[in-house]
Amino acid sequence: MTDTHEATSTTSTAARKRQTIITLGAAGLLFGGILLGLYLTDPQQQIATNNDQVSSDEEITEHFNLPGKKVDPREVWISRGESDINTLKKSNAEFTRTIEQLRGEIAQLQTNQARANQATPSVPLNTGVATFPTLPPPPPPRKQSPASGTMVDTVLSDAAGQTANNLGVNRNGSTISSSAILSVSLADTPVPDDKDKQGAKKKPPCNVTNCIPPGAFAKAALLSGLDAPTGGRADTNPHPVLLELLDTASLPNRYRSRVKECRVVAAGFGRISDERAYLRLERLSCVLRGGEILDVPLKGYVSGEDGKVGMRGHLISKQGALIARALLAGTAGGIGSAISQSYSSVLTSPTGAVSTIDPSKTLEFGVASGFGTALGEISDWYLKRADETYPIIEIDAGRVVEIVLTEGIELGVNIEENHS
């Protein structure tokens, strides 16, 4: 009994030790797992790991300019400098390629020239005159085909062969070796100008027979009167006047020009300040002995009987009459308006003024009001007509004046011999 009890006690003790070891092992494994989980889930460890990965890679830095960020002038200058340097590098590379290409072409040309010099025999040149091949004869004229009626070009075979030989080419297309070196030199040949051609036909010298110098004058009579305008654009749109020369023209140094009975066309305008009409010369016309017509432009002015520039005339203005009529119509219109107001009464109230018409005076009010309005419009019309009307300087026909030239004229013919 005792042995059995001891064996049972020993077995239970071993089982307890085994359970204790298993429990401690399980607790150790659990504690180790917890520590490993805490280590792996530590955020500091993850940040360090990420930093190590970032540091291991190549760092790339890029700068972005925000729209509101201020631009640094130094950065702009640096960027422009880099762009200019890149452009210069590209240009230099292109220049280098071009130079190398040109060098290659020059070397090739030199090589070809050397080969040509070796292949061509040297011929002494006795004179500096270049030897040219003779030109072929011209082709025969075109003949008409009797069958079809069309024009065909007939060229002789001998002429064609001669042309080919002169050009250094056989009829079969092969090149004929030249016995001499041909050199062609180009020279600038002046082309004769039209002015030089015209200069060949020299004009006759200007003298008293075919020219009238500036400062010449002659007596003339007005064949037509003039109402010279004074306002608006009178100086830019003058009125024409016709004059006839009464005597020969007086030239400097007591010379005379036979332009008697020739006619002059002038244009004139007036000025209120001095009550004179100013005429400028336009053209001179004469009929020569053989019936030819002489018509030349003319520049000058007309001098009146008092020797002054222009001709004194009568100042005529219709503005005064128009203004007087406007005044009369305005006065009558004002009276009519006053009469019409006498037939109405005005009542003033806190809300405003009210005009009322006497019912028994309606006809009188209408007549007076219409009369005043109509006369007011008539007055305005007269004022507009007065504003559009300008005074004029009246010049009568038949007055004797002097025409004076300010620029010389060339008649082109001998007026002394051809004047009728």
Mean pLDDT of all residues in 213-240: 89
Angle, in degrees to the nearest 10, between helices 319-342 and 362-388 = 160
Verify that 375 and 294 share a domain, yes or no.
no
Task: Provide the number of structural domains found in the chain.
Answer: 3
Mean pLDDT of all residues in 235-245: 90
Task: List the end-to-end C-alpha distance of the chain, in Å, as a whole number.
Answer: 194
Would you state the structure tokens that stand for residue 175, as one six-digit string?
A: 């090149």
Please check whether residue 378 lies inside any domain of the structure.
yes
Verify that 266 and 402 share a domain, yes or no.
yes
Residue range 101-113, pLDDT digits in tens: 999 999 999 999 8
Please check whether residue 113 lies inside any domain of the structure.
no
Q: Which of 158, 310, 290 is nearest to 226 (CA)?
A: 310
If you average pLDDT over every residue of the chain, what do you get?
Answer: 76
Please check whether residue 413 lies inside any domain of the structure.
yes
Please check whether residue 133 lies inside any domain of the structure.
no
Q: Which domain holds residue 354?
A: 319-389
Verify that 93 and 215 share a domain, yes or no.
no
Verify that 251 and 355 share a domain, yes or no.
no
Verify that 404 and 359 share a domain, yes or no.
no
- Give pLDDT, residue 11: 67
Please check whether residue 233 lies inside any domain of the structure.
yes
Task: Say yes or no to pLDDT of 66 above 60.
Answer: no
Task: Say yes or no to pLDDT of 4 above 60.
Answer: no
Please check whether residue 335 lies inside any domain of the structure.
yes
Q: Are strands 293-297 and 276-287 parallel, antiparallel or unpaired?
A: antiparallel
Verify that 306 and 414 share a domain, yes or no.
yes
Are 258 and 247 spatial neighbours (Cβ–Cβ below 8 Å)?
Answer: no
Task: Say yes or no to pLDDT of 213 above 90.
Answer: yes
Verify that 301 and 228 share a domain, yes or no.
yes
Verify that 269 and 408 share a domain, yes or no.
yes
Task: Say yes or no to pLDDT of 63 above 60.
Answer: no
Distance CA 279, CA 268 (A): 4
- Give pLDDT, residue 160: 43
Mean pLDDT of all residues in 263-291: 93
Mean pLDDT of all residues in 333-355: 79
Distance CA 167, CA 163 (A): 6
Verify that 290 and 401 share a domain, yes or no.
yes
Residue range 10-46, pLDDT digits in tens: 667 777 788 888 888 888 888 888 877 777 776 555 5
Please check whether residue 23 lies inside any domain of the structure.
no
- Give pLDDT, residue 296: 94
Distance CA 366, CA 293 (A): 73
Mean pLDDT of all residues in 380-408: 91
Does the reported pTM lie above 0.85? no
How sure is the predictor about 264, in pLDDT bands with cuts at 50, 70 and 90?
A: very high
Site of tokens 């050199």 = 183
Identify the CATH number of the domain in which residue 241 sits.
Answer: 2.40.128.260
Chain centre distance of CA 127: 58
Please check whether residue 148 lies inside any domain of the structure.
no
Contacts (Cβ under 8 Å, ≥6 apart) of 87:
none
Residue after which a domain boundary falls, among 89, 108, 127:
108
Task: Say yes or no to pLDDT of 153 above 70.
Answer: no
Mean pLDDT of all residues in 60-78: 66
More confident residue, 240 or 170: 240
Are 287 and 390 spatial neighbours (Cβ–Cβ below 8 Å)?
Answer: no
Verify that 220 and 238 share a domain, yes or no.
yes
Verify that 273 and 412 share a domain, yes or no.
yes
Residue after which a domain boundary falls, among 108, 123, 153:
108
More confident residue, 160 or 346: 346
- Give pLDDT, residue 220: 96
In degrees rounded to 5, what are phi and psi of residue 364?
A: -60, -40
More confident residue, 368 or 393: 393
Q: Locate the DSSP E strands across 201-273.
A: 211-212, 217-222, 226-229, 239-245, 249-250, 256-257, 263-271
Verify that 294 and 414 share a domain, yes or no.
yes
Based on its alpha-carbon atoms, the radius of gyration of the chain, rounded to whole angstroms, reads: 60
Q: Could you tell me the CA-to-CA distances from 189 to 61, 131, 262 in Å, in that order?
A: 72, 21, 51
Least confident of 50-64, 224-238, 310-324: 50-64
